[in-house]
Structures are given as structure tokens and as C-alpha cells.
Amino acid sequence: MADTQKVLDTVIIGAGPAGLTAGIYAQRALLSNVILEQEAVGGQIVLTDTVDNYPGIPHANGYTLADSMRKQAEDLGAKIVSEQAVSITRDPETNLFTTKTAEKTYVSKILIVAGGATPRKAGFEGEDQFAGHGVSYCATCDAMFYRNKPVYVVGGGNSAAEEALFLTKFASKVIIVIRKDHMRAQASVQRQLEENDKVEIRYLTSVVKLEGNQLATEITLKHNDTQETYSESYEEGGFGVFVFVGRVPATNLIKDMVDVDDHGYVKSDEAMSTKTPGLFVAGDIRQKMLRQIVTATADGAIAATSAAAYLGQHIAS
Ligand SMILES: Cc1cc2nc3c(=O)[nH]c(=O)nc-3n(C[C@H](O)[C@H](O)[C@H](O)COP(=O)(O)OP(=O)(O)OC[C@H]3O[C@@H](n4cnc5c(N)ncnc54)[C@H](O)[C@@H]3O)c2cc1C
């Protein structure tokens, strides 16, 4: 066995809403655990200024919400360490998981992977600068900030089309910017977009850059055939850019132990179990309908509860 301390009941990878909630429930089920986090505790929610749809905490600041989840987990005894999991193996004889970080090796009976998924960036100039201040990757989260304002939607796939349709309920105009000469969305959604007066679809077009001060004031686009560029200006904060060009689930370390769907999300059942006994997933990393804080926390609670049940049934302490 590794150069290690005791065998933990569970290692939790990721201290986003799913991992922190798994930590809270693991503590309450008296499972010894450690939560590994490679970046900021809170995961994606620390990127957002305002969270308006988490029940019970209206107008929450993302950072404050993340910090109160962290505090709740730590107050209950959860241990969060700033380490990145770099490899995971499972011993076929003992069924124990070994998780290595640069600093340490952790051995556990259960592994809960809550590593999330990161939105893929479109790659235009100013995208990072205005992320959260004009550039968004989540219509459900941010559409209401663009009520009666024009928005650009970048992407021509299904999720871009569906999110664009959702945005028509809020925005004054939805300009869909598609790199290719066609959309790759369900025919019915595409038809709804084409028939909606608020929607303008610009094929063979890419966003080149966003410019402004605190908030963006100008967007520059390019026609991909003619290479002609043109800019459109607004008052500060008078428009938004929603990027939907795919998401990358953090499945690298477990890809040989789980099944994934066509988009790379981990297939799991209602108990958050995967095809590997003792390996559970929670949050945005999973194949599911809605990737939000409320569903991530629910997954984390279920994963830790399932882990406790699994330990009781399969593994003697
Ligand atoms: C800009 C933005 C705004 C949003 N606004 C809202 C909103 O208003 N309302 C809402 O409900 N949802 C919102 N969302 C979606 C919401 O944030 C996610 O659904 C939620 O955070 C998913 O939680 P998670 O714990 O599954 O994953 P994440 O939040 O992605 O957390 C996963 C964590 O795992 C860590 N990790 C990954 N791999 C490793 C590793 N190998 N070792 C250690 N740590 C690792 C990551 O660093 C990350 O911190 C928003 C998302 C974004 C990007």
C-alpha cells in the first residue's frame, strides 16, 4: 500500500457545490474524508457575481455563497486541502482507491468525483476580460441581466440553439453567430428560432473581439468567407455575449473506470453510482438535464448518502 496514513472512507475530488455538499453529508454520516481542490473553493460559482436562482438565498453573491458552503462543511469537520488529484487507481484485490496529488497519496474505500465541467471558450479577444461582465456561459444564470437588451449567442450546436431560444424571452434581440454555414441543432428548435422575430442568425461569422472599459461597449465580428470585419457599438453594458461552444467535463482521471455519453459526461444512476463499484460522481461532471448549483448540491448529497450505504453493505470497517 502507498506511503500513507490510514485508509479513509472517502476521498472527494472537487470543492464546488457538489463536492462541498458531499463533504457535508459525509461528515454527517461519520465517513472519514478529505476534499481535494485544485483551484478556488466553490468551483464555478466563484466566477459569478450574482446567483439569483438558489432557493432561500436571493441575490446571492457567488463568492459569498461558495464561502458559506465551505464554512458549513468545515464547521462540520470536513477537511478541504488545496491539492490537485493527478492520478487515480483502484486495486482489483482490495478494491481500495489510491488518489495521488503532487504532495500526498490518499487511499480510500470510496471515491466521489465532483470535478465539474468547464465551459469551452470561443477564443475571441476580450473574452476573459469581460467574463462575468458581459460575457456569459450560462443563459439560465444570466439571461435576466439582459432584459430588453440585445445579446449575441456564439455557437451553432443544440445547446446554443436552445439557450438562444430561452434568451428570446428576455433580450430585445438575439443575434446568433455561427462559424459555419449551417446550424447543428434539432430541426424543431431551429425552426422556432427562424420564425422568431427577435432572432437574427449570422452564418459564416465569428466574434473577433470585445472592447470597452469596465463593461463592453463594442463587438467586432468577421465574415469567415470574405474576411471582412465590422464593429457594432452600444452604451456601456448595453449588450451581452453568450458563448455556447461546448463544455469539457473533468473526466480525465477516471475515464477508464466510467462510461461517458457522446459529450463526455459520466453516465451514472440515480444513486450517483458508476460502473465501478465504490466510484460515485456528482454535479456538472454527470450526464444530466440541468447543470446548476441546486442540482449539483443535490447530487453531492445523494453521492455521499449512497457512499455510506455502500460502505455499510459491502465493506467491513
Ligand atoms: C459564469 C457562471 C455563472 C453561473 N451562474 C449560475 C447561477 O446563477 N445559478 C446556478 O444555479 N448555476 C450557475 N452556474 C452553474 C454552476 O456554477 C454549476 O452548475 C455548479 O458550480 C456545478 O458544481 P460542481 O460542484 O459540479 O462543479 P464545479 O463548480 O465546476 O466545481 C468542481 C471543482 O472541482 C475542482 N477540480 C476539478 N478537477 C480536480 C482535480 N483533479 N483535483 C482537484 N480539484 C479538481 C475544480 O477546480 C472545481 O473547483 C454558473 C456557471 C458559470 C460558469
Contact 130, 212 (CB under 8 A): yes
Q: Is the CB of residue 156 below 6 angstroms from any atom belonging to ligand 1?
A: no
pLDDT at 277: 96
Q: Find all residues with CB under 8 Å of 54, minimum gap 6, and list them.
A: 60, 65, 293, 294
Query: Is residue 138 flagged as an active site residue?
Result: yes
Q: Is the CB of residue 70 below 6 angstroms from any atom belonging to ligand 1?
A: no
Q: Is the CB of residue 23 below 6 angstroms from any atom belonging to ligand 1?
A: no
Find where cell 454535479 sits.
Answer: 283
Q: Is the CB of residue 132 below 6 angstroms from any atom belonging to ligand 1?
A: yes
Q: Find all residues with CB under 8 Å of 139, minimum gap 6, and list them.
A: 163, 166, 167, 242, 244
Name the residue with the closest Cα to ligand 1, atom 3: 48
Contact 296, 281 (CB under 8 A): no
Q: Which segments of the chain belong to CATH 3.50.50.60?
A: 8-118+247-314, 135-243
Is 135-243 a CATH 3.50.50.60 domain?
yes
Gap from CA of 17 to ligand 1 centroid (Å): 7
Short-list 8, 180, 223, CA closest to 110: 8
Query: Is residue 142 flagged as an active site residue?
Result: yes
Give the Cα separation of 308 and 19 in Å (integer). 15
pLDDT at 4: 46
pLDDT at 5: 59
Q: Which of 9, 141, 284, 299 is catalytic?
A: 141
Name the residue with the closest Cα to ligand 1, atom 45: 14
CB-CB neighbours of 10 under 10 Å? 28
Query: Is residue 141 flagged as an active site residue?
Result: yes
Q: Which three cell numbers stand for residue 287?
A: 450526464
pLDDT at 264: 93
Q: Is the CB of residue 240 below 6 angstroms from any atom belonging to ligand 1?
A: no
Q: Which of 138, 181, 197, 262 is catalytic?
A: 138
Q: What is the pTM of this model?
A: 0.81
pLDDT at 2: 45
Gap from CA of 15 to ligand 1 centroid (Å): 9
Locate the ligand 1 atom nearest the alpha carbon of residue 299 and give its number. 26
Give the Cα separation of 109 and 278 in Å (integer). 7
What is the DSSP code (8-state) at residue 8?
E
pLDDT at 51: 85
> Distances in Å between the alpha carbon of 118 and those of 20, 56, 86, 115, 268?
18, 26, 18, 9, 19
Q: Is the CB of residue 48 below 6 angstroms from any atom belonging to ligand 1?
A: yes
Q: Is the CB of residue 61 below 6 angstroms from any atom belonging to ligand 1?
A: no
pLDDT at 311: 94
Q: Probe ligand 1: pick from 293, 295, 299, 302, max atoms within 8 Å of CB?
A: 293
Name the residue with the closest Cα to ligand 1, atom 18: 292
> Distances in Å between the alpha carbon of 61 and those of 57, 67, 298?
9, 10, 20
Short-list 308, 250, 260, CA closest to 288: 260
CATH superfamily label, 8-118+247-314: FAD/NAD(P)-binding domain (3.50.50.60)
Mean pLDDT by 10 residues, the chain (317 residues): 72 98 97 96 83 90 94 97 97 96 96 94 96 90 93 93 93 97 90 96 98 95 97 96 93 96 95 98 96 96 98 75
Q: Is the CB of residue 298 below 6 angstroms from any atom belonging to ligand 1?
A: no
pLDDT at 3: 46
> Distances in Å between the alpha carbon of 41 and those of 84, 119, 259, 303, 304?
12, 18, 27, 19, 19
pLDDT at 49: 72
Locate the ligand 1 atom nearest the alpha carbon of residue 43 and give its number. 49
- Grouping H, G, I as helix, E, B as strand and the rest as coil, residue 105 is strand
Locate the ligand 1 atom nearest the alpha carbon of residue 86 and give its number. 41
What is the DSSP code (8-state) at residue 260?
B
CB-CB neighbours of 49 under 10 Å? 12
**DSSP letter for each residue of 134-183:** TEES-HHHHGGGGTTSEEEEE--BHHHHHHHHHHTTT-SEEEEE-SSSS-
Q: Is the CB of residue 47 below 6 angstroms from any atom belonging to ligand 1?
A: yes
Name the residue with the closest Cα to ligand 1, atom 12: 292
